[in-house]
Amino acid sequence: VKFQTFFKLSLLEIIKFVLHSVSGVCGLAPLNTKTSKIVGGEDATPGAWPWQVSLTRSGTHFCGGSLINSQWVLTAAHCLPSLVVYIGRDTQQSTNPNEVSRTVTQIINHPDYNSDTSENDMSLLRLSSAVDFTNYIRPVCLAASGSTFAGGTDVWITGWGDINSGVSLPFPERLQEVSVPIVSNTQCSADYQANSISITDNMLCAGLREGGKDSCQGDSGGPLVYKNSTKWVLGGVVSFGIGCALPNFPGVYARVSKYESWIKSQITSNQPGFVCVPNSDGCSNNGTGSGAPHLTAVSFPLLMSLPLFIFSAFALE
Ligand SMILES: *[C@@H]1O[C@H](CO)[C@@H](O)[C@H](O)[C@H]1NC(C)=O
Ligand SMILES: *[C@@H]1O[C@H](CO)[C@@H](O)[C@H](O)[C@H]1NC(C)=O
């Protein structure tokens, strides 16, 4: 009897683990009906962005982040120590029936983060325990190495940040969403040159020429996502800007596709799903490649272990 209990538990754990490992679970938002610091945005419907997390300190929201598997959050390195992470949250000041919270047990800042230039503004947070996925809590896929975001591509940004420079989100502080176009690095570099700010290949820019839509204070660390037809893919992490939503100063994001190998070197089990943007062929010739070959490497041994378990159950009976 004891053995059978153990066996059933293990089988359940293995199935759960396989489900969590498969990158097939990333980037799905069943409650999001869209086709494709928030200024110019609107209320998101609960569950539309199930990877969005809120980083809090002393009960106060100060940064966003994205759930990338059941136990890790990707955020910005300038979002320094976060104590409690809320996942599945809708509003900052009202009830959140679908949320769970976790403390942070490990913070891995990118080793080359430079607070003066904002280069490599990226950090990984390990949650105190894994979360169960629901329609309100799900991981996002990550842009694979070699992904490209052409100028003009429409993407979405979300967060609980200010709705204009110095103007905080009004009660009940519901999660905001807004769609903005990608700005090419050539254009973005030219925009920021006068202010002696250099836009590197590790950064990604987005915003309207005329301004009016942007991330702002409090959105930092949060997601910039692109929909590849079936899955939502994290292309950027909110990093910095000059003011918010000013004309010709697009928001600047850490470019997620540049960090595939770093992320994979830090998260050694249950790796997040990587998807090539704009299409699945684009990254195949790159050394690091997309997540697809890795996925089989993770789940194949696990699937193989199932018959072994079943066999040993019979053998012992
Ligand atoms: C991946 O391929 C793209 C397009 O060929 C290239 O621009 C990029 O530098 C490559 N990245 C790596 C890491 O090899
Ligand atoms: C979107 O990503 C999935 C998962 O990697 C892939 O199977 C599919 O082909 C991608 N779609 C496009 C249009 O690239």
Q: For 24-57, what is each residue's pLDDT tens digit?
A: 689 999 998 765 457 888 899 999 999 999 999 9
pLDDT, position 258: 98
At 50-94, the pLDDT tens digits run 999 999 999 999 999 999 999 999 999 999 876 899 999 999 999
- Atom 14 of ligand 1, nearest CA residue: 286
At 115-174, the pLDDT tens digits run 999 999 999 999 999 999 999 999 999 999 999 999 999 999 999 999 988 888 999 999
Report all structural domains of the chain as residue ranges with CATH numbers, in order of start: 11-275 (2.40.10.10)
Between the CA of 294 and the centroid of ligand 1 the distance, in Å, is 19
pLDDT, position 10: 55
Between the CA of 149 and the centroid of ligand 1 the distance, in Å, is 13
Between the CA of 248 and the centroid of ligand 1 the distance, in Å, is 28
> Which residues line ligand 1 at a C-beta cut-off of 6 Å?
145-146, 286-288
pLDDT, position 16: 52
- Atom 14 of ligand 2, nearest CA residue: 279
At 190-223, the pLDDT tens digits run 999 989 999 999 999 999 999 998 999 999 999 9
Is 121 an active-site residue? yes
pLDDT, position 12: 53
- Atom 6 of ligand 2, nearest CA residue: 280
Between the CA of 290 and the centroid of ligand 1 the distance, in Å, is 12
| CA of 260, nearest ligand number | 1
| CA of 229, nearest ligand number | 2
> Pocket of ligand 2, candidates 26, 142, 227, 229: which has the most ligand atoms within 8 Å of its Cβ, to mutate?
229
- Atom 10 of ligand 1, nearest CA residue: 146
pLDDT, position 230: 92
pLDDT, position 43: 93
Instruction: Please state, rounded to an integer, the average pLDDT across all residues of the chain.
Output: 86
| CA of 147, nearest ligand number | 1
At 261-292, the pLDDT tens digits run 999 999 988 999 999 999 988 897 554 444 44
Closest CA to 34 of 235, 278, 231: 231
- pTM of the full structure: 0.81
Between the CA of 276 and the centroid of ligand 2 the distance, in Å, is 7
At 293-311, the pLDDT tens digits run 343 333 444 444 444 444 4
Q: Which of 20, 66, 70, 78 is catalytic?
A: 78
216 in Cβ contact with 245 (< 8 Å): yes
Between the CA of 128 and the centroid of ligand 2 the distance, in Å, is 32
Written as one string, the DSSP assignment of the chain is -HHHHHHHHHHHHHHHHHHHHSGGGTT--TT-------BS-EEPPTTSSTTEEEEEETTEEEEEEEE-SSSEEEE-TTS----EEEES--BSSS--TT-EEEEEEEEEE-TT-BTTTTBT--EEEEESSPPPP-SS--PPEEEPTT----TT-EEEEEESS-SBTTBPPPTT-B-EEEEEEEE-HHHHHHHHHTTT----TTEEEE--TT---B--TT-TT-EEEEE-SS-EEEEEEEEE-SSSS-TT--EEEEEGGGGHHHHHHH--SSPPPEE-SS-TTTTTTSSS--SHHHHHHHHHHHHHHHHHHHHHHHHH-
How many Å apart are CA 94 and CA 84, to the nearest integer? 17
List C-alpha distances in Å: 21 to 18, 68, 176, 184.
5, 11, 30, 34
Q: Which of 123, 220, 239, 257 is catalytic?
A: 220
Q: Which of 90, 121, 162, 219 is catalytic?
A: 121
> Pocket of ligand 2, candidates 280, 281, 284: which has the most ligand atoms within 8 Å of its Cβ, to mutate?
280
| CA of 276, nearest ligand number | 2
Q: Is residue 176 over pLDDT 80? A: yes
Burial 89-128 (b: 16+ CB within 10 A, else e): bbbbeeebebbbbbebeeebbbeebeeeebbbbbbbbbbe
